[in-house]
């Protein structure tokens, strides 16, 4: 069992090499508004602690404060970070600088921006060793090679001579890991280092990282929003909400018997690889610093709320050895089961009424062919998932169907008619009946228009409604996507990512389509928001009989949302069929590899 900070403080000792956060508070500079508050966490050597939270929870703030750093606009307002008998926050800056990178290392989310694009990889690693005074001038190159070999990268001269842009995303991240490990740090802070990597690459990076931490006895804080990743690599998990740790415990405790209502809601929102689930979101939105409610910060979104919840901030109390929960009703919330919300997979024998069929689709970008003879079809009220890693051609296919990409050969038949290449060559009816939803809701809504104008436009364009009647319909649609009329006159930049994506969905629905093409529409969103969007799409499919082409890289999500799946690799369909068949008994090697690398919770 890991010692709690209280125990250690009482005993007056800190495990050698570990790090101990006590009562940490970070504020917005110039005000008493807290970004994070009341953080107590200790990391033992060789232990990986997952710090999980959604955007705005303050998880990255806690991560960087381990290095005595707060981003511009914030300052560390109190607390101690005890490391090797010293308080990092009380040290003079020269010593903090010495500690950073050497004893406490940091791996950023986007390693490409951490490597200098104009210096060769080998030179960069050698420079780091010079800076840290590691080795002798003669031994440094060998040291760099050893460091690269340790993270499973080639260590030959050819590789050392490369620039950062000549490496793949996974390689860059492993170079960053190698550089973090070279000075043999005792503490490592990893800030979402695998976000943006393909699952197979992510799997390799995570494995490398976990091995290095365990063999070198490094205490690692793994900051992420991805519960599935944490479930695979962490020893202990701390769940953060609105600047506070709401639950802390062993991995198995957190995933088998979560107690805090927020942890439970998060787990309810994530899809499983092994079973289809009815996902649910968390109502409301994460409050920003300064707007957090009094009392328990989760009370306004909590299903277990009682009047006492608003009265005082609950303490992070121990409910079982090593398991701490910040909830006054921790003893009353009852048991919880991870298999809650499981639903049966779609029956593979279900009759299908095909509405859209794609045959022998070839797409070239310049001279490079990115899609090779792809054929599949989509039935009414059915969800077909296109799954693959980056470069698999999944988005390109969806863009061809949506009329955003013009240069392709083959045929796409929609309701018995051949579809034109590009939206301008399609009939008005075709344009209306197939709607496309983009991956990034921050880019897909015109920031100069109001929500009303955005959602109303397709109705005017397709002569569905206009004027007052159209406004009424907009309100109706906004209700349907759980936004409400209050946002009618706001501009998109006043809304959060999840709210924007709902507006984008409302815009697509305004055209009263038969087919929705969804291009990774949840990948930029928090898991709880993803849960509610998936629930929304499912209800639309059932109530309106809309068919969906769902592009994603997330196989677990496919299991919960799709009826059929096409696995793409290098622009070719390598395996396809009903979700339950493909995922339970994959035939192709690539599918097996994808499934094996996908982080799974259960």
Asked if 280 is part of the footprint of other proteins (rule: CB under 8 A), the reply reads: no
The span of 84-92, 209-217, 306-314, 439-447 binding other proteins (CB under 8 A) equals 439-447
The number of angstroms, rounded, from the C-alpha of 373 to the middle of its chain's C-alpha atoms is 32
Burial code (b: 16+ CB inside 10 Å, e: under 16) for 75-113 equals ebbebbbbbeeeebbebeeeebeebbbbbbbbbbbebbe
The footprint of other proteins on residues 213-232 (CB under 8 A) is none
Asked if 523 is part of the footprint of other proteins (rule: CB under 8 A), the reply reads: no
> Which of 38, 49, 51, 42 shows the shortest CA–CA distance to 79?
38
Asked if 236 is part of the footprint of other proteins (rule: CB under 8 A), the reply reads: no
DSSP 494: G
- Written as six digits, the tokens of 254 are 């957190």
What 3-state class would DSSP assign to 245? strand
Q: Of 28 and 404, which CB lies nearer to other proteins in the complex structure? A: 404
Q: Which of 245, 511, 527, 551 binds other proteins (CB under 8 A)?
A: 511
The span of 185-193, 278-286, 367-375, 488-496 binding other proteins (CB under 8 A) equals 488-496
Asked if 368 is part of the footprint of other proteins (rule: CB under 8 A), the reply reads: no
Asked if 438 is part of the footprint of other proteins (rule: CB under 8 A), the reply reads: yes
**Cα–Cα distance between 440 and 176 in angstroms, integer?**
27
Asked if 71 is part of the footprint of other proteins (rule: CB under 8 A), the reply reads: no
Asked if 56 is part of the footprint of other proteins (rule: CB under 8 A), the reply reads: no
- Written as six digits, the tokens of 595 are 């499934």
Asked if 313 is part of the footprint of other proteins (rule: CB under 8 A), the reply reads: no
Asked if 493 is part of the footprint of other proteins (rule: CB under 8 A), the reply reads: yes
CB 394 within 8 A of CB 561: no
The DSSP secondary structure of 325-383, one letter per residue, reads E--TTTTTS----TTTTEEPPPPTT----EEEEEEEEEEEETTEEEEEEEEEEEETT-E
Asked if 489 is part of the footprint of other proteins (rule: CB under 8 A), the reply reads: yes
DSSP 6: H
Q: Residue 474 CB, nearest distance to other proteins (Å)? A: 9
> Which of 171, 218, 221, 179 shows the shortest CA–CA distance to 197?
171
- The site for other proteins, by CB under 8 A, has a size of 30
Binding mask 374-413 for other proteins (x = CB under 8 A): ----------------------------xxx---------
Q: Residue 509 CB, nearest distance to other proteins (Å)? A: 13
Residue 421 burial (CB count, 10 A): 17
Phi-psi region of 101 (alpha: psi -120 to 50; beta: other; left: phi over 0): left
Q: Residue 393 CB, nearest distance to other proteins (Å)? A: 18
Asked if 447 is part of the footprint of other proteins (rule: CB under 8 A), the reply reads: yes
The span of 246-254, 373-381, 480-488, 537-545 binding other proteins (CB under 8 A) equals 480-488
Phi-psi region of 79 (alpha: psi -120 to 50; beta: other; left: phi over 0): left
The span of 157-165, 367-375, 435-443, 533-541 binding other proteins (CB under 8 A) equals 435-443
What spatial distance separates the first Cα and last Cα of the chain, rounded to whole Å? 24
Q: Which of 162, 216, 352, 457 binds other proteins (CB under 8 A)?
A: 457
Q: Of 414 and 438, which CB lies nearer to other proteins in the complex structure? A: 438
> Which chain residues interact with other proteins by CB under 8 A?
402-404, 423-424, 426, 428, 431, 436, 438, 440, 443-449, 457-458, 461, 471, 475, 485-486, 488-489, 493, 507, 511
């Amino acid at each position: 069992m890991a010692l709690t900070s209280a125990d250690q403080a009482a005993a007056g000792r800190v495990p050698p090499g570990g790090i101990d956060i006590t009562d940490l508070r970070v504020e917005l500079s110039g005000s008493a508004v807290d970004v994070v508050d009341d953080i107590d966490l200790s990391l033992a050597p060789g232990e990986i602690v997952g710090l999980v939270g959604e955007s705005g929870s303050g998880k990255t703030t806690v991560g960087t404060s381990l290095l005595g750093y707060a981003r511009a606009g914030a300052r560390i307002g109190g607390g101690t970070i005890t490391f090797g008998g010293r308080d990092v926050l009380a040290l003079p800056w020269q010593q903090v600088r010495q500690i950073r990178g050497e004893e406490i290392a940091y791996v950023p989310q986007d390693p490409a921006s951490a490597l200098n694009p104009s210096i060769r990889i080998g030179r960069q690693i050698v420079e780091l060793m010079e800076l840290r005074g590691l080795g002798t001038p003669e031994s440094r190159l060998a040291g760099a090679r050893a460091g690269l070999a340790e993270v499973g990268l080639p260590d030959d001269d050819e590789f050392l001579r490369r620039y950062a842009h000549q490496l793949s995303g996974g390689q860059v991240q492993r170079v960053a890991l190698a550089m973090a490990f070279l000075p043999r740090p005792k503490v490592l802070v990893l800030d979402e280092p695998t976000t943006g990597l393909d699952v197979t690459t992510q799997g390799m990076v995570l494995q490398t990282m976990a091995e290095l931490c365990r063999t070198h006895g490094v205490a690692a804080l793994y900051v992420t929003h991805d519960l599935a990743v944490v479930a695979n690599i962490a020893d202990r998990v701390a769940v953060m909400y609105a600047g506070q740790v709401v639950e802390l415990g062993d991995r198995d405790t957190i995933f088998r018997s979560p107690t805090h209502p927020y942890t439970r809601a998060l787990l309810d929102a994530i899809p499983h690889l092994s079973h289809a689930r009815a996902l649910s979101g968390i109502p409301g939105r994460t409050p920003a610093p300064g707007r957090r409610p009094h009392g328990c910060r989760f009370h306004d979104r909590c299903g277990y709320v009682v009047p006492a919840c608003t009265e005082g901030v609950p303490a992070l109390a121990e409910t079982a050895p090593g398991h701490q929960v910040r909830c006054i009703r921790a003893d009353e919330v009852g048991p919880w089961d991870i298999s809650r919300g499981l639903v049966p997979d779609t029956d593979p024998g279900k009759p299908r009424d095909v509405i859209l069929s794609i045959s022998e689709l070839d797409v070239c970008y310049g001279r490079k062919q990115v899609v090779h003879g792809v054929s599949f079809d989509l039935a009414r009220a059915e969800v077909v998932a296109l799954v693959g890693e980056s470069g698999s051609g999944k988005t390109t296919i969806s863009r061809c169907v949506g009329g955003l990409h013009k240069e392709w050969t083959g045929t796409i038949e929609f309701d018995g008619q051949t579809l034109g290449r590009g939206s301008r060559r399609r009939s008005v009816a075709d344009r209306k009946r197939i709607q496309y939803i983009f991956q990034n809701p921050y880019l897909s809504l015109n920031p100069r228009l109001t929500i009303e104008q955005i959602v109303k436009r397709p109705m005017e364009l397709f002569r569905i409604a206009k004027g007052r009647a159209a406004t009424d319909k907009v309100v109706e649609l906004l209700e349907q996507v759980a936004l409400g009329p209050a946002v009618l006159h706001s501009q998109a930049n006043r809304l959060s990512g999840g709210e924007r994506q709902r507006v984008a969905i409302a815009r697509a629905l305004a055209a009263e389509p038969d087919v929705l093409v969804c291009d990774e529409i949840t990948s930029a969103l928090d898991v709880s928001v993803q849960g509610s969007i998936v629930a929304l799409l499912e209800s639309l499919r059932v109530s309106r009989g809309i068919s969906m082409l769902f592009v994603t890289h997330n196989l677990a999500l496919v299991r919960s949302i799709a009826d059929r799946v096409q696995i793409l690799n290098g622009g070719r369909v390598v395996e396809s069929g009903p979700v339950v068949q493909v995922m339970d008994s994959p035939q192709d090697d690539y599918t097996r590899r994808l499934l094996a690398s996908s982080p799974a919770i259960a």
